[in-house]
Amino acid sequence: MLWEFTMAIHIGRTLPPAAAPLHFKDIISGWAGLFGGGATVRRFEEELKGVYGVRHCFAVSSGKAALFLILQALKELSPGRDEVLIPAYTCYSVPSAIVRAGLKVRLCDMGQDSLDFDFDRLGEQLEAPRILCVIPTHLFGLPADVERVKNLADHRGIFVVEDAAQAMGAEWNGRKMGTVGDVGLFSMGRGKVFSTVEGGIILTDNDLIGRAIEKRMGAIPGYGAFDSLKLILYAVALSLLVHPLIYWLPKSLPFLKLGETRFDPSFPIRRLSPFQAGVARGWKEKMEELREARSKNAGKIASYGIAPPGGRAVSPGLIRFPVLLADAEAKKKVLRASEARGLGISGGYPDAIDGIGELAYLPAGNGFPAAKAIAERMVSLPVHPLVNDGAIQRIVQLLI
Ligand SMILES: *Cc1c(COP(=O)(O)O)cnc(C)c1O
């Protein structure tokens, strides 16, 4: 499914909607990682365990692959349960992984003007007898209340999978996001907190879950020589093309599928390659630098009186700045203007999850009005390090 608002090609300075720039030196350390082989990946996993204070950590080819493995492990631990409760507005990769794992998607609507569950409904939704797990999600890095979900889910024997795909390195209430649920995941894809071209991380301190995943990891292939080469070439291309002076070019090439979000359960599932683990080298420092740059930009946007949905404070871990506009028409206008001026504002996911045709068993009709409203009215503003003060002013002018 294409994003709805692809317009005329804008030639000239164009901001990507999200960017964790890859530098030439990252590719060099990726190359060095290749020569370290499996040890490079193990070192990365050990570093993650140390920083996040968890006993189990697995690095794989994407956030979707991470979620797939988590779901398979939970399914083994709780046979007889086959439904996964997710927010009705989230990344299409999430239902893709659920379907791939042979499980069924169940939706809970979003709170009014929040990007978290509607907690008035969540308790009731969790009464359904076949729910295996629930997936609170830190969309754009805005903290979701995982603790509250755990309080509702634990005594019902429902696992809490914390989707921190967009929140690696962020903290909330003194706890590291990704470590509050029974098991958590990060993504290192393009457009996430920091990037190894593609990649995903599983974290858990639960030995049952950890062992069930470990057992599966042994059977998962690594990247073959051809796939590693593709990855390296893609990394080089990304490091060159993400610059605002050039980004209009890849953006105008439809086969690169930039800015596209799709439902597709047929994604590859691999162990992270030594090249990617090498690219990740120095990840704590890199994430900190990126976090600082993004939070500074988000602060500047907020200083104009613009706030994320629900008037919530700007949290330091934002990777894009979500804003609810008055209606669908306002959203179209802003996206059209952004497209014409190369400002990198994006429309988010094209529809609520019940709008995905392949999930025909979901309740039809207007079952998830808050999620629909978010899909219709929300845009996200870029805050990555390539956004300068001039761009912020031009972006803000479209909104106030
Ligand atoms: C990106 C994303 C994923 C999937 O991560 P990939 O690495 O792209 O597979 C899952 N959940 C959310 C909320 C995401 O934003």
* Mean pLDDT rounded to a whole number for the chain: 91
For a pocket test of ligand 1, which of 68, 71, 192 has the largest count of ligand atoms closer than 8 A to its C-beta? 192
Q: Is the pLDDT of residue 1 over 60?
A: no
* Nearest CA-CA partner of 71 in 54, 56, 85: 85
- Residue 33's H or E segment, with its range, is helix 24-36
Whether residue 233 is predicted with pLDDT greater than 50 in this model: the reply is yes
Region of residue 50 (phi > 0: left; psi between -120 and 50: alpha; otherwise: beta): alpha
β-strands 183-187, 159-163 pairing = parallel
CA distance 134 to 123: 11
CB distance 163 to ligand 1 below 6 Å: yes
Which atom in ligand 1 lies closest to the alpha carbon of residue 267? 9
Contact 165 CB / ligand 1 (< 6 Å): yes
The helix/strand count (H/E) of the chain reads as: 14, 11
> Does residue 189 have its Cβ closer than 6 Å to ligand 1?
yes
Query: Is residue 8 scored above 70 in pLDDT?
Result: no
Which uninterrupted H or E stretch holds 374? helix 369-377
Q: From the centroid of its chain, how far is CA 285? A: 20
Comparing C-alpha atoms, which of 392, 389, 371 is closest to residue 381? 392
- On whether the CB atoms of residues 321 and 298 are closer than 8 A, the answer is yes
63 Cβ closer than 6 Å to some ligand 1 atom: yes
166 CB under 6 A from ligand 1? yes
123-171 pLDDT, tens digit per residue, is 999 999 999 999 999 999 999 999 999 999 999 999 999 999 999 999 9
300 or 21: which leads in pLDDT: 300
Candidates 60, 90, 93: which one to mutate for ligand 1, based on the most atoms within 8 Å of Cβ?
Answer: 93
Q: Does any ligand 1 atom lie closer than 6 A to the CB of residue 286?
A: no
pLDDT in tens, 283-322: 999 999 999 999 999 999 999 999 998 777 778 889 999 9
Task: Specify whether the CB–CB gap between 198 and 230 falls below 8 A.
Answer: no
pLDDT tens readout for residues 75-117: 999 999 999 999 999 999 999 999 999 999 999 999 987 899 9
Q: How many CB atoms lie within 10 A of CB 80?
A: 8
- Pocket of ligand 1 contains residue 195 by CB under 6 Å: no
Strand stretches in 22-154, DSSP E: 56-60, 83-87, 104-108, 131-134
157-213 pLDDT per residue, tens: 999 999 999 999 999 989 999 999 999 999 999 889 999 999 999 999 999 999 999
Q: Is the CB of 184 under 6 A from ligand 1?
A: no
Would the CB of 64 count as within 6 Å of ligand 1? yes
In the numeric block, which tokens belong to residue 397?
A: 């002018």
Strands 171-172 and 175-176: antiparallel
Whether 260 has a pLDDT exceeding 90, the answer reads no
Burial class (CB in 10 A: 0-12, 13-18, 19+), 207: exposed
Determine the longest span between alpha carbons in the chain, in angstroms.
56
Which pLDDT value is given to residue 386? 87
Residues near 317 by beta carbon (within 8 Å), at least 6 away in sequence? 138, 141, 142, 143, 167, 169, 170, 171, 172, 177, 193, 291, 295
Amino acid at 257: K
Distance 168 CA to ligand 1 centre (A): 11
Report how far residue 223's alpha carbon sits from residue 400's, in angstroms, rounded to the nearest whole number: 48
Comparison of pLDDT for 41 and 348, the residue scoring more: 41
Cα 97 to middle of ligand 1, angstroms: 10
Is ligand 1 within 6 A of the CB of residue 200?
yes
Distance CA 5, CA 7 (A): 6
Q: Which two tokens stand for residue 192?
A: 């996430």
pLDDT at 2: 40
CA distances from 267 to 61, 107, 156, 275, 336 (A): 10, 22, 32, 20, 32
User: What SS3 class is residue 359?
Assistant: coil
Mutate to test the pocket of ligand 1, among 58, 162, 166, 187 (most ligand atoms within 8 A of CB): 187
Query: What is the sign of the dihedral through the CA atoms of 236, 34, 231 and 67?
Result: negative
pLDDT recorded at residue 252: 66
- Find the angle CA(315)-CA(305)-CA(14) to the nearest 5 degrees: 75
Q: What is the mean pLDDT of residues 2-19?
A: 58
For 315-341, what is the mean pLDDT?
93
pLDDT at 246: 67
Whether the pTM exceeds 0.75: the reply is yes
262 pLDDT above the threshold of 90? no
Atom of ligand 1 nearest to the CA of 191: 1
Q: Is the pLDDT of residue 4 over 60?
A: no
Distance CA 386, CA 48 (A): 27
